[in-house]
Amino acid sequence: MMDSVQVRVDAGVMTLRMNRADKKNALTRAMYSRMAEALREADTERSVRAVLITGSEQCFTSGNDVADFLQAPPSGMDSPVFQFMQALFELQKPIIAGVAGPAVGIGTTLLLHCDLVYVSQNAVLKMPFVNLGLCPEFGSSLILPRLLGPARASELLLLGESFSGEQAAQWGIATAALENGAAALTKAASAAQRFTQLAPSAVADSKRLMRTPGREELRQAIEAEGDLFIRRLRSPEALEALSAFMQRRQPDFSRFN
Ligand code: COA
């Protein structure tokens, strides 16, 4: 069987490629663990100068595997999904994302913690947490209202509206939108490669300077969101929404107060 996450180090760039096409690259616990381990390796391995995270030209990721959410929801900060996001949040080296097709849930959230994000114009980004009976995760409830203003952030986080790669670039969630998936992935790979020509500690120092203001507040938001997310995953509302997804029907929230 093909690895559902391919990890490769080539000429100073570590590439993490989500590779589970039959499930639109839905992320399982095993995939998060593999990516967390790779990110920790990237930070300590001297030869790695940048990390590239990507999927295929058709799909970035459909987000957390919904079956996993039902069968083995994360129970604490040591759960694979938190380990992965924590490793991403702490990474001292630059991280570049190449995004084509759907980037759902954590597929959009993780972009908020990347340094450079190249998307295809017709990529479809979406954070349907409320739609699933959940709540925003990993800093998005703090970052997005600041970046977009509360009115637009509410449309994305409360209604779970999808938006295009082109909009993501206009709003500053992405660095640039490219004409198609192949162009987005190529641009992301070449940006990652450029870091191999730069002074590594100057890059790390500069990244740290940009990320330090407000970091403590962000940590607190991440913790509060994480606690609530874990509780909400066990709520009747979430169980209804997640089961509805698996059964290919619309959720019915009419019985909830
Ligand atoms: N978890 C588990 N399985 C998923 C999945 C997810 N997040 N996303 C897609 N899949 C599965 C589907 O169940 C389907 O499986 P099947 O072929 O065994 O029935 C397969 O992947 C293909 O998905 P499908 O929905 O038929 O493809 P599509 O091209 O019509 O739509 C998406 C693709 C990504 C737009 C759609 O699958 C989607 O919106 N998924 C997001 C689920 C979600 O809410 N994720 C956020 C979790 S926080």
CB of 64 within 6 A of ligand 1: the answer is yes
**Residue of 57, 13, 67, 5 whose CA lies nearest to 36:** 5
The arithmetic mean of pLDDT across residues 104-121, rounded, is 98
What is the per-residue pLDDT across 84-97, written as a single tens digit (0 to 9) for each?
999 999 999 999 99
Amino acid occupying residue 192: A
Q: Output the CA angle 105-144-223, nearest 5 degrees.
A: 70
Residue with tokens 């995760």: 137
Q: How far is the CA of 138 from the centre of ligand 1 (A)?
A: 22
For range 152-178, the mean pLDDT: 98
pLDDT by residue (tens digit) across 24-47? 999 999 999 999 999 999 999 999
pLDDT single digits (tens) 205-242:
999 999 999 999 999 999 999 999 999 999 999 999 99
Is 121 close to ligand 1, i.e. is its CB under 6 Å away?
Answer: no
Mean of the per-residue pLDDT values of the chain: 97
pLDDT at 1 over 60: no
**What residue ranges do the domains of the chain occupy?**
5-180+199-203
Length of the chain in residues, anyone? 257
CB 146 within 8 A of CB 211: no
CA–centroid distance, residue 176 to ligand 1 (Å): 26
What is the secondary structure of 116-157 as a DSSP string? EEEEETT-EEE--TGGGT----TTHHHHHHHHH-HHHHHHHH
CA–CA distance from 52 to each of 38, 78, 186 (Å)? Answer: 11, 24, 11
Supply the pLDDT for residue 2.
73
Q: Hey, which CATH number is domain 5-180+199-203, 3.90.226.10, 3.40.50.720, 3.10.450.40, 3.40.50.1970? A: 3.90.226.10
